[in-house]
Amino acid sequence: MLNAIEPALEIALTDCRRIGQIAIQKLDDGVLALSHRDDETRNDLKLFHSPEDAIEIAKFDDTGNYRPLKTAPNLRRGWRLELATLDELRRALDYFYPGRLAVFAAWKSGRLRTTPLRDTLDRQSGMYRVAAKISDEQIDCVVGDFCRSDGGCLRTILWKRDKQGTVASTKLPPEKFDPAFDQVRAPTRSRSTIPATAIPLLCQEACNLLVAECRKVVKGE
């Protein structure tokens, strides 16, 4: 899989230089410079040089709170990470957005499998088993709120609610399920005409945090 990621990344970077909230600039000397999208034109950024620096940068938001969901739209600002090679870029992006490049490469080659939410919930054990009792109406609300791009999560949802192919949530706009849309810029309540300008962060199955939210709703917490 590792072999497939770098070519997919290289091709993607010829069309767009964005992934999630990160902008990637290729400098004249070949250096790859990463920053928060909103910091691209700033020249007072704190400089980093190692892919592993991404671990710390991604850990807390601007107010110092831990970021349990790395694809939440709260990446901190004020940094610039300069990298020498495509391999270093791949590693850094994997720290910023764990697993997303591998999923992107699998999706590009038509090998990505998705799991319906109800299957994910049905296979839970222990204290999360009860999450499977969630109703369709509750799923609409929980997914619509927790996964929304404006304040929730920047991933594009590819999974369905059930094996019948029901949409994950009727509360989310069509763009939320379309990899061609840039979730950082896509409005969430109305149809958008904004074209793709970013490598999509794809969601192939519900994350543990969403499962935990489903459990909370069932438990009435």
Please report, as ranges, the residues that interact with ligand SF4 according to CB under 6 A: 71, 146-147, 153, 155, 157, 203, 206-207, 209-210
Tell me the torsion sign for CA atoms 196, 40, 5, 158.
negative
Query: At how many degrees (to 10) do helices 100-108 and 86-96 cross?
Result: 110
The least CB distance from residue 213 to ligand SF4, in Å, is: 8
- Whichever of 32 and 184 has its CB closer to ligand SF4, that residue is 184
The least CB distance from residue 204 to ligand SF4, in Å, is: 8
- Whichever of 130 and 207 has its CB closer to ligand SF4, that residue is 207
Q: Which residue, judged by CB position, is nearest to ligand SF4 in the bound state?
A: 153
- Whichever of 20 and 51 has its CB closer to ligand SF4, that residue is 20
- Whichever of 93 and 210 has its CB closer to ligand SF4, that residue is 210
The least CB distance from residue 157 to ligand SF4, in Å, is: 5
- Whichever of 35 and 156 has its CB closer to ligand SF4, that residue is 156
The least CB distance from residue 144 to ligand SF4, in Å, is: 10
The least CB distance from residue 211 to ligand SF4, in Å, is: 8
- Which phi-psi region, left, alpha or beta, contains residue 126 (left: φ > 0; alpha: ψ -120 to 50)? left
The least CB distance from residue 95 to ligand SF4, in Å, is: 17
- Whichever of 18 and 100 has its CB closer to ligand SF4, that residue is 100
Both structure tokens of 41: 């034109």
Which neighbouring-strand residues pair with 156?
Answer: 202
Do 183 and 176 contact (CB within 8 A), yes or no? yes
